Amino acid sequence: MSDPSIISCDRLGKTYLDNSGREVVAFEDISLEIARGDFVTVIGPSGCGKTSLLFMLAGFESKTSGAMLIEGEPIKGPGADRAVVFQEYALFPWLNLRRNIEYGPREKAMPRDEMRRKVDEMLDVVGLASAAERYPHELSAGMRQRAALARVLVNEPKILLMDEPFAALDAQTRLSLQRELSRLSQELALTVMFITHSVEEAVLLGDRILVMTARPGQIYADVAVNLPKPRDPTAHEFSDRRRDVEDLLKRASAQTGETISIPIIV
Ligand SMILES: Nc1ncnc2c1ncn2[C@@H]1O[C@H](COP(=O)(O)OP(=O)(O)OP(=O)(O)O)[C@@H](O)[C@H]1O
Ligand SMILES: [Mg+2]
């Protein structure tokens, strides 16, 4: 049986009006098919429209032109099928970790026993079982970001939309979270769109890397990364890929969306 794309964008465009009423074209003409279970990383110069694209997929922002479908249906707003994780951890400071993770299930009026089981399972999955009764300010930055991940994953989304989620973490914590996310996304068969400014991170996580041009953003290159996971950043093949993507990013940054994009597979 053929499996249609879970995310599909056709000539998608987004234009904002700035404070003085002038049009700001964030991106235009983005056509994209993302297969179920794919981990797609997105990299591109600042202001090229990455967050705008993610917000539109999340249902937080409307489109200006083109079409955008999730499982063949137009996006009408936020939905339980999609979860968003930002750089800043979205935790309620007045609730302990367990209560934070319970938030979604409670909203859905999930029966107590089932909720308890799910939350325990999720705490385990992200390695925070022993910290369940602690409050966000008692956790390290890495633990808070793990908790933020657990808080959205407990709702069993199909699509995870991540906007530079690990950018504020130190290198070691970042690496451990990257590893966990990679494992989790495979285990849970999640479709992930992950924005980053780090080429290393893009290559470490992505089955596919979208390299965007400067604003108005377009997809300059669509890079398939066929290295097996978990990936070793010290391996030769990895360094080769990283260099390829660095070159593409340099070239893409020098271009704006007015030029025609050419998908490149390295
Ligand atoms: N609400 C808004 N109103 C007006 N302009 C906006 C709005 N949101 C974004 N923009 C503009 O749209 C463009 C794309 O912004 P966006 O935040 O999507 O870029 P980005 O690729 O995520 O950048 P960065 O890498 O710095 O996070 C920028 O020029 C930005 O100033
Ligand atoms: Mg952004």
pLDDT at 14 (0 to 100): 97
Residue 192 near ligand 1, beta carbon < 6 Å = no
pTM of the model: 0.93
pLDDT at 2 (0 to 100): 52
Taking Cα atoms as reference points, which of 100, 178, 97, 169 lies closest to residue 131?
97
Mutate to test the pocket of ligand 1, among 24, 30, 62, 193 (most ligand atoms within 8 A of CB): 24
CA pair distance 144, 140, nearest whole angstrom: 6
pLDDT at 39 (0 to 100): 98
Mutate to test the pocket of ligand 1, among 28, 52, 220 (most ligand atoms within 8 A of CB): 52
pLDDT at 153 (0 to 100): 92
Residue 256 near ligand 1, beta carbon < 6 Å = no
Q: Whose CA is nearest to atom 23 of ligand 1?
A: 47
Residue 38 three-state SS: coil
Ligand 2 centre to CA of 27 (Å) is 13
Q: What is the mean pLDDT of each run of 10 residues along the chain (266 residues)?
A: 82 95 94 96 96 97 96 94 88 95 93 95 91 95 92 94 93 90 93 97 97 94 94 95 96 76 60
Domain positions in the chain? 7-81+157-253
Taking Cα atoms as reference points, which of 101, 81, 79 lies closest to residue 91?
101
For domain 7-81+157-253, give its CATH number from 3.40.470.10, 3.30.365.10, 3.30.300.90, 3.40.50.300: 3.40.50.300
